[in-house]
Structure 1
Amino acid sequence: MAGTVQLLCLATSSGVPLYCRSKGESRQLPFSVIGSLNGVHMFGSNQDVLLTSTCTENTRVFWRVFQDSITLIVMTSEEDASDLYLSRLLDNVFSAMVLVIGLDDLVNLKNVERLKRDLRACYKMIDSFLAAPDWIGDLTQCVDCVVSPDTDILQEALDIFVAAAESNFGCLMVMGKVVVATEKWWRLAAQEVMLLAWLVGSLAPSSSRDYPIYLPHGSPTVPHRLLSFQLVPGVEVCMLCGPTPSLHEVQTELVERFWSPLLEPLKTCLGVHQRSFPACTPLHHSIIGLLLINREQNKNVFTLQPHGVENSQQQGAGLPPERCKSILRLFYTLAVSAYFPADTSEDKPAALHEEFHTGFTHSPTECYVAATDHKCYGIQTQQHQLFLVFKPDAPTFALRTIATKTLNLMTKEVPF
């Protein structure tokens, strides 16, 4: 599954490269190749032809133009790089650029050299999208979450803390995953919630930050301040606010007062973050990967260690974690592209390969895959989507029962 990914960002009108980021063992592309990739897209555009993607024997290329100003091109040799993933990758990259430097500078390209320098602040976040770490929100467009056994206590503390700082937008994160958030934080656009968590997770650890950000959907031209404070290593509380209060004021007057009494619940979050939900939630032994999406709140729980770190090592998952993650991402892509299409007006991500799909007289709510080294099962309800990866020896006839019981367990007893 190993492969290379190269991302190019160019000024649409001039074709001037703004940056190039890569993953894997890939060489810097010569300017002639960059010019050719941009040129073929511009030629098609001049002929009223929209070129979005193409494939060679071992490489897939994807083009997107944003605001008639920025052109993004991605090339990948990764076998599991679907059209859905590449489309959302480019959308996430452009939104990350807006998040960090604002829309005005991207639309009004007055000084290209200055824009190149400003875009360096986006590199860590963009590189984290290319690296695809232990989060899946880049693909699902939902924020990765951790379900803590102390959710109620932490939620109450967060609400009081944020109100004391005269803000309405706040969240508690562990290793880039949201534990609890205020009501208005959840009212932000789904991609904004995901991007804010991704930004915090991609930055170097710091005791506190005062970071200017733009909301790509809600406020792309007017900046807000993102304040973050490290409560214990790996656990941060974040707020969105205006000119006040100052970072020093919040850190010295509010952080210790509200969060010092909750040191143990905060440490508990660290113990839960890899599994993403409490160890007291027992799952069937054949499950080796899980993705649960709350469709109403645009959040998800994702884990490759559904039985905890120690139990997973003792039992032996049977698949390397990277392989299991790739399978889960591909199964999610298949399901939402072919069987569980979104109700939104989002551009259709991929052509359907199953000819019989056009003959469906109903909307499928379940699907499964059986392969030599794994099996998968997916369920969609009005509020949730659940995607599971199983060991290959799990009986196919039992997958539906196990998946249904898992969904009931995760949504009623956890709950999520």
Structure 2
Amino acid sequence: MGDGGIHLLCLTASSGVPLYCRSRGTSRQLPFSVIGSLNGVHMFGSNQDVLLAGTNTENANVVWRVFSDSVTLIVLSLYESATDVYLNKLLENVFSAMVLLVGLEDLVNIKNVERLKRDLRACYKLIDSFLEMPERTGDLTQCVDCVLVQDGSVLQDCLDTFTQAAQSNFGCIMMSGKVVVATEKWWRLAPQDVMMLAWLVASLIPCTSRDYPVYLPQGSPTVPHRLLTFLLVPGVEVCILCGPVPSLQEVERELVERFWKPLAEPLKACLRMQVRSFPASVPLDRGIIGLLLINREQSKCLYTVQANPSEDAARQDIYLPLDRRRTALRSFYTLAISRYFPVERDDGKTAHYEEFQAGFTHHAVQCYTVSEDHKCYGLQTGQHQLFILFRSEVPTFALRNIATKTLLVFTKEWAF
């Protein structure tokens, strides 16, 4: 199967008929015999009233999930950094992507397998984006990746009036799959729905405007809505969710230029935040090379692995390659929420992906790790979680102080 790679299999739960197979990091597809064996062992366990959720071999991790008693998703990863937490979230995202573009009804009541296969092709680009090593973390945190900009209030006012003029309450400005500003009703959508919409827009081929039918996996899985998007400046789009009216041509012809042409410069300024996700005026310690800040109440996050891009550009060789930074920060986040930080469940209680060490009844609020080429520090409050990636030369005793000051900058001065 090659060195490194990830394989995603989708089959009907009742008969095991393959619907599609997607891969990353390897040019070889899984043989049909392997696909049949992976599904067969799961079906055998199910017939014996045994739930086979996952297994680890010497060089691979495999996770099985059945959704709506209709679709079986199997992921096989050959990457050492792929944890069970990540793989389970990957399968949840993939099924949500299928619901987003096909609708839950066609996935639950499969009447024509060949037709469903054709319909699912529309999901491939979105599904493949979840298999890649992204420059966002919403797939892992289930929060919406955001960007902080200087002219946020100006853009917000224009967005609110533009959305109302387009006969909708749901709108946002988006850049590379990250939300710049959004209407109040947009933020009231289920966090997973907002995250999926952002990933969908980022996965589509850039175009001037589009009228895209979508289902909301949490809010409206069986009734479609229209997602209208308009390119304001290269790299920045405005999106609205609406019903049968207005038409795409009507909004594009009568509203887009009237509302957004006067704001061309603030919109172009958003692109300067693409690497860092927040303005250069936000002060950060030079030892920080990456961070992930999560607003737990609003399900929003800020993420970057180029916290000080000017210093990275000044060095002939980047201190730590960007892919390595992404892997390190995502792995630390997974470790923290798996072992130390409680996870809010739907019933309002807290739970851990793994049990905390025996004998401890309290919840950890800070944790850190030290490796040869970097250090990580995480802390959480009632509203926020902050995970920071440091250069290895930063003294371990200074991590807590730097992290605390960094959190204050974003929560007090910028009110994120």
TM bin, normalised by shorter chain, reads over 0.9
Q: What is the match of residue 369 of structure 2?
A: 369
C-alpha displacement of 1:360: 1.5
CA contact (8 A) 1:282 1:307 kept: no
Q: What is the match of residue 247 of structure 2?
A: 246
Q: Secondary structure at the match of 1:387?
A: strand
CA contact (8 A) 2:291 2:388 kept: yes
Per-residue CA shift, 1:364-414, capped at 9, x if unaligned? 111011111111000100111000010011000000000000000011112
Matches within 5 A, 1:293-304: 293-304=294-305
2: distance between equivalents of 1:56 and 1:363?
Answer: 32
1: distance between equivalents of 2:162 and 2:182?
Answer: 11
Q: Secondary structure at the match of 1:204?
A: coil
Matches within 5 A, 1:79-94: 79-94=80-95
- How has the CA–CA distance of structure 1 residues 67 and 387 changed in structure 2, closer, same or farther, with 3 Å as cutoff? same
**2:187 is equivalent to residue 179 of structure 1:** no
CA contact (8 A) 2:306 2:312 kept: yes
C-alpha displacement of 1:132: 2.5
Q: What is the match of residue 119 of structure 2?
A: 118
Q: Secondary structure at the match of 1:223?
A: strand
C-alpha displacement of 1:17: 0.2
- Which letter maps to 1:12? A
1: distance between equivalents of 2:360 and 2:274?
Answer: 40
Structure 1 stretch displaced more, 339-348 or 286-295:
339-348
C-alpha displacement of 1:317: 4.7
C-alpha displacement of 1:343: 1.9
Q: Secondary structure at the match of 1:158?
A: helix
Per-residue CA shift, 1:40-65, capped at 9, x if unaligned? 00111111110010011100000000
Any stretches of 5+ residues in structure 2 without a counterpart? none
- Which letter maps to 1:151? G
Q: Secondary structure at the match of 1:359?
A: coil
* TM-score, scaled relative to structure 1: 0.97
Any stretches of 5+ residues in structure 1 without a counterpart? none
Q: What is the match of residue 229 of structure 1?
A: 230
Q: What is the match of residue 410 of structure 2?
A: 410
Matches within 5 A, 1:12-411: 12-308=13-309, 310-315=310-315, 317-345=318-346, 350-352=353-355, 357-411=357-411
1: distance between equivalents of 2:40 and 2:254?
Answer: 57
2: distance between equivalents of 1:275 and 1:366?
Answer: 24
1: distance between equivalents of 2:398 and 2:168?
Answer: 49
Per-residue CA shift, 1:148-177, capped at 9, x if unaligned? 111100111100000111100000001111
CA contact (8 A) 2:5 2:24 kept: yes
Aligned sequence identity (%): 66
* TM-score, scaled relative to structure 2: 0.97
CA contact (8 A) 1:18 1:116 kept: yes
- Which letter maps to 1:132? M
CA contact (8 A) 1:210 1:227 kept: yes
- How has the CA–CA distance of structure 1 residues 217 and 208 changed in structure 2, closer, same or farther, with 3 Å as cutoff? same
C-alpha displacement of 1:273: 1.6
- Which letter maps to 2:287? S
CA contact (8 A) 1:61 1:76 kept: yes
Instruction: Count the aligned residue pairs.
Output: 411
CA contact (8 A) 1:5 1:26 kept: no
Q: Secondary structure at the match of 1:109?
A: coil
CA contact (8 A) 2:339 2:352 kept: no
C-alpha displacement of 1:350: 4.3
Structure 1 stretch displaced more, 21-30 or 166-175:
21-30
Structure 1 stretch displaced more, 374-383 or 27-36:
27-36
CA contact (8 A) 2:344 2:351 kept: no
2: distance between equivalents of 1:299 and 1:52?
Answer: 29
CA contact (8 A) 2:376 2:390 kept: yes
2: distance between equivalents of 1:127 and 1:16?
Answer: 21
CA contact (8 A) 1:224 1:240 kept: yes
